[in-house]
């Protein structure tokens, strides 16, 4: 019958790990390595020992005696609250801002950009039948342009909509849109 101890290396490693685990469990539950203190008052000489924590912070927090020096230091502290009543649920009124004098006025910043230039085209008339293929005549100085909806003329102006008495034109450089009425002659 085989019990799995044929591989000596694995068996030795398992035994070493088991011993380490037992040592760690014993130290965890029985506090191995910590200092022992004398039995507490009232133990009447019993053989049981009490373990004292090694951390100073923990030792001070478990000490039941009063520290009058710390109490005296806390008595000298005065509360300087904001005057808010913690028993009322309403918020205090916001403070009224003081008016600024001429030398404390906020900087207005840079001036706003100038408005875009007006579109200098005039709606002169129609060309073609009514409907989708309708075209318009636009006049700029002595130049005459013939365009339909969606077309860009003079590499700058896009015809957005052709109505019965007006045309909507967009300057594609500034995104400025104007509606031009039909002008006579």
To the nearest whole number, what is the mean pLDDT of the chain? 78
Beta bridge partners of 122: 139
In a domain, 50, yes or no: no
In a domain, 166, yes or no: yes
In a domain, 163, yes or no: yes
Question: What are the residue ranges in the chain where pLDDT is below 70?
Answer: 1-5, 31-61, 92, 100, 102-105, 131, 184-185
Give the start-end residues of each E strand in the chain.
36-37, 50-51, 122-127, 135-140, 143-148, 152-153, 157-162, 166-171, 176-181
In a domain, 142, yes or no: yes
Model pLDDT for residues 73-103, shown as the tens digit of each residue: 888 788 777 777 778 777 767 888 887 676 6
Token pair of 156, please? 């700058």
Token pair of 177, please? 């849109």
Residues spanned by the domain of 129: 122-181
């Amino acid at each position: 019958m085989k019990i799995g101890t044929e591989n000596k290396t694995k068996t030795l490693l398992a035994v070493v790990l088991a011993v380490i685990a037992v040592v760690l469990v014993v130290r965890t539950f029985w506090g191995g390595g910590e200092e022992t203190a004398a039995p507490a008052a009232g133990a009447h000489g019993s053989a049981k020992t009490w373990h004292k924590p090694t951390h100073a912070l923990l030792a001070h927090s478990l000490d039941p005696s009063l520290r009058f020096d710390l109490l005296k230091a806390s008595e000298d502290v005065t509360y300087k609250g904001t005057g808010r009543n913690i028993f009322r649920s309403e918020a205090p009124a916001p403070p009224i801002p003081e008016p600024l004098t001429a030398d404390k006025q906020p900087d207005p910043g840079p001036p706003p950009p100038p408005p875009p230039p007006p579109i200098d085209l005039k709606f002169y008339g129609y060309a073609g039948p009514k409907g989708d293929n309708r075209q318009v005549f636009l006049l700029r100085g002595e130049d005459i342009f013939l365009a339909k909806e969606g077309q860009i003329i003079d590499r700058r102006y896009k015809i957005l909509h052709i109505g019965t008495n007006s045309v909507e034109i967009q300057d594609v450089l500034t995104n400025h849109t104007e509606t031009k009425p039909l002008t006579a002659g």
